[in-house]
Structure 1
Amino acid sequence: MAEEHRIKHEGLVVTAIILTSFCYMHDMVIIPAVNSIYEQFADSPGLANFIVSGPAGVMIITELLTPRMLRHVGKKRLMTIAMVVFAFASIFGAAIVDPVYMAVARGIVGAAVGVIATVPLTLISELYEDEGKRSWLMGLYNAGMTGIGFVLGILSGYVASSGWQGCFRLYWITVPILVLWVLVMPETGKDSAGEQEAKRERFPMGGFVKLLVVFFLIGVFYAIIYYQISVYVSEQQIGDEMLAGTLSSLGTLGGFVISFLFGGIFKRIQERSFGVGCLALAASILILYLFPSVAGSMIATFLIGAAWGFIYTAFTMDLTTVVPQSFVNTSVSVGLAVAGLCMFASTYVTTLLQMITGSSTISSILPIGVVVSALCGVITLVSPPKASASEAAS
């Protein structure tokens, strides 16, 4: 850790950073209720789509704006404001069962999460200059994020089985996390020095753009499964909301396990981590397609979650290494905006692919996900984004 950023209570600070990922995992609260939301607002399919995936679209805007906001406001203060907004909009997100009200509330949630998702990663990059330590903490952050998602999946599945609106009560968890953040996080200055340094350096566009494009293609297919798992369960007639919640939890459990192992694996395969994760995702989606049963779906979603956890951690790590340090804030914000775009676009891409295949099921588009994931894996293994960036810079 850089000398100028040594912190007295480092353990508590790291814990606070990890716990903020609860906000980024906010969708896990409503995943088991997605099918019920579509049924509740069957007359307003556009608003129902926005309630489900709209926050991911709004996130894109605030993620892109976060570096600019950090030039005027310190990281601690900006995060505090965002978490307060998130708490109010999420806790009362279903206070009125009306599609317009819920769409507005979910949009506000997305705006807050855009900031909350960006600041911790830029803070990790700022505090840890060594790639080994940084990859370890990135893995720990994502392990915490998926661990939180695992617990939320179980709790939300249980709550949704007795009424989908009850899921929103789980957002009260935000309050103690906010209190911890305020108490232990040190004040941070504005990011004006990085702006001056960035003016003197060259942005390695080639490798960065390749990383974003490949991640988008992979992310859309993961998001389709992530959001539509309850629909998959329903169309395959293998269970109800409780199973959907269990599958969501198994996916996040897979991500939780692999994130703990990421640091050690990254040391061995380095920049090829992303490509390996893509191939693993292709194989996992294939299992989900070939074995539409309770046991098959449980194994597949665990492996899909593990593959995605590995891909996402490799992606966030690459965002901090594919560009010079002075561009990390921009790289992370744009990268997370693309991640949000994946989530936002997924429901619309689902509809488009179903029109192309002539089928109305989620299962019918899974083979496309297998092919796309495998191709992305091969491309990034042959030419890793970091290697492309290094060649462009030289």
Structure 2
Amino acid sequence: MVSSDGTQKTLLKGALLFSSVDGMVASALLVPILANIAKDFPDAGPWLNQLLSLPSLLMIPAIIITGKLADYVSKKKLLMIGTILFTAGGFGGIFANNIMDLVWTRALLGIGAGVVYPMAPAMIAYLYQGQERAQLLGWTNACGSVFSFALGIGAGYAALFHWKYAFYFYLIFVLVFLMQWAALPDFPPEKEDGKIAQAKVSGNPQEKLGYRVWLTSLDMIVYMTLSMVLLYKLSLFIVSEHLGTSADAGLATSIQTLASFLISLVFSQVLKGLKRFTAVLGLVCMASGYFFFGIAHNFSLVVVAVICLGLSLGIIFPYLMNRVSAVAPNSKKTFAISLLSMSIYVGQYLSAFFTQFADWISHGSIRGTFSFVASVLFACAMIAIVYILATQGRDRNVSMVEK
């Protein structure tokens, strides 16, 4: 637990929250200026799309490597190194004279984001427990949403003068770096921390990751695979079904982000009331969202659907992060969170193939695809209820369940 004066405690929480947004904003600044870049580099070809996809791709190995490096290097040092790489890669776009210069800077940004992504929640898991940990993990999701929204708008306005000006916003992370340096405690490497923990308990065997960490990571893969179907279908559905325009699709996405942000702010209260059944609520919200999409014949019902989906995202992400933080042993927490973080991107990758499968099941009907995904999610909710009831006794010692 953290014991410090009010100012230091606030600065510490601020440093952790601001450090958690790198992965969420990796593409937020680029999306509004992509058309401008394409205009200046007409011969970019397939490299233009790589500007968006390459950072996510490189985050996966960076997350895995960082999870193992935490055995030998302190989390504070890893977090600060990742922030330096992320800031250099983002700001470096200002000096790009051709598309390949931008590709290399985006690659550096992706590696930095991959180093940072598991470190902030890992430090939260070490420093806080119970409701305070759940609250902070919920706030990280909210903070990422606000940063993505604000920086995306800022980049769009900056591009009215020149698209390179948008990259100046990455200098914000210099302040984040200074907050990390000033406020974060310097943990020992996890291998050393594990030896200390073992020394306190005579005969304690080498700690294992545990099946619940692997199961939670599998849950994240399944959830991301199902939730990302909307990304491929939302705009096409709204326009092809004459429910609105592309601008309305953008509005729907913003409403979803707002719903996710709001529920993230009160996530700890939701977890306190529902405990492990919080996951069931998240699945039911997502299933309801897809169900409403399947029957939507006006934009009002689309709004209801995206609100349900936003609530689900704002519940499931902090829930699974909090869950893995609670069940992983101290000497394996960072690797466990890295494994869960990697699962997010594995699920995103698999979602493209699952979407094709759902289209085949529904014979190409978008409404049919939404209804099929809804039925799968309702089935997942039923499985989750059965599993929770069957394992409740074994999880009584997990702090997140009891507090």
Q: Smaller-chain TM-score range?
A: 0.7 to 0.9
Following superposition, the deviation at residue 117 of structure 1 comes to 1.2
**Aligned residue pairs, count:** 387
Gaps of 5+ in 1: none
Aligned to 2:65: 65
In the alignment, what sits opposite 1:239? 245
Deviations 1:207-229, CA, capped at 9 Å, x for gaps: 33332222212112323435775
Deviations 1:221-250 (A, max 9, x none): 32343577556566566334x555543332
Q: Which residue of 2 aligns with 1:146?
A: 145
Letter in 2 for 1:301: V
Write the deviation string for residues 91-111 of structure 1: whole angstroms up to 9, x where unpaired: 344865966554443333222
CA shift in 2, pair 1:244/1:179, >3 Å: farther
Query: Aligned-pair RMSD on alpha carbons?
Result: 3.9
- Cα contact 2:225–2:351 (8 A) shared by 1: yes
In 2, are the aligned partners of 1:150 and 1:251 still within 8 Å (CA)? Answer: no
Q: Secondary structure of the residue that 1:203 maps to in structure 2?
A: coil
Q: Tell me, which stretches of 5 or more residues in structure 2 are unaligned?
A: 199-203, 398-403
CA offsets, 1:58-110, max 9 Å, x none?
A: 21212122232223332222212211211122234486596655444333322
Which of residues 315, 320, 324 is equivalent to 2:320?
A: 315
Q: Cα deviations across residues 347-392 of structure 1 (Å, max 9, x unaligned)?
A: 4554565567564x8766433432332222221121039938938x
Q: Which residue does 1:371 correspond to in 2?
A: 375
CA distance in 2, matches of 1:42, 1:54: 18
Query: What aligned pairs does 1:17-166 form with structure 2 within 5 A after superposition?
Result: 17-26=16-25, 27-31=27-31, 44=45, 47=47, 50-93=50-93, 96=96, 101-128=101-128, 130-155=129-154
Measure, in 2, the Cα distance between the counterparts of 1:73 and 1:385: 40
Instruction: Mark the CA change 1:2 to 1:390 in structure 2 (over 3 Å): closer, same or farther.
Output: farther
Task: Give 1 or 2 for the bigger CA radius of gyration.
Answer: 2
Which of 262, 272, 278 is 1:273 aligned to?
278
8 Å CA contact 2:90–2:109 kept in 1: the answer is yes
Q: 2:277 aligns to what SS in structure 1?
A: helix
CA distance in 2 between partners of 1:231 and 1:264 (Å): 36
Identity fraction in percent: 20
User: How far has the Cα of 1:127 moved from its partner?
Assistant: 0.8
CA distance in 1, matches of 2:231, 2:133: 27
Give the C-alpha shift of residue 258 in structure 1.
Answer: 0.8
Give the alignment's TM-score, normalised by structure 2: 0.79
Deviation of the 1:330 alpha carbon: 1.9
Residues 28/247 of structure 1: CA separation in 2 closer, same or farther (3 Å cut): farther
The CA distance in 2 between the partners of 1:389 and 1:110, in whole Å, is: 41
Moved more, 374-383 or 346-355: 346-355
Identify the structure with bigger relative contact order (alpha carbons < 8 Å, sequence gap 6+).
Answer: 1
Give, in angstroms, the shift of residue 346 of structure 1: 3.7
Which residue of 2 is the match for residue 383 of structure 1? 387
Q: How far does residue 320 in structure 1 lie from its aligned partner after superposition?
A: 1.1
Q: Determine the C-alpha separation between the residues in 1 that align with 2:236 and 2:99.
A: 20
| Inter-CA distance 317–36: structure 2 relative to 1 (3 Å threshold) | farther
What is the identity, as a one-letter code, of the residue corresponding to 2:88?
A: F
Q: Which residue of 2 aligns with 1:12?
A: 11
Equivalents in 1 of 2:70, 2:14: separation in Å?
22
CA distance in 1, matches of 2:160, 2:119: 35
Structure-2 residue corresponding to 1:257: 262
Which one is further off, 373-382 or 96-105?
A: 96-105
Q: Which amino acid is the alignment partner of residue 134 of structure 2? A: S
The amino acid across from 1:303 in the alignment is C
Amino acid in structure 2 at the alignment position of 1:369: V
The TM-score normalised by the length of structure 1 is 0.81
Verify the 8 A CA contact 2:59 2:110 in the aligned structure 1.
Answer: yes
Aligned partner of 1:336 among 338, 341, 345: 341
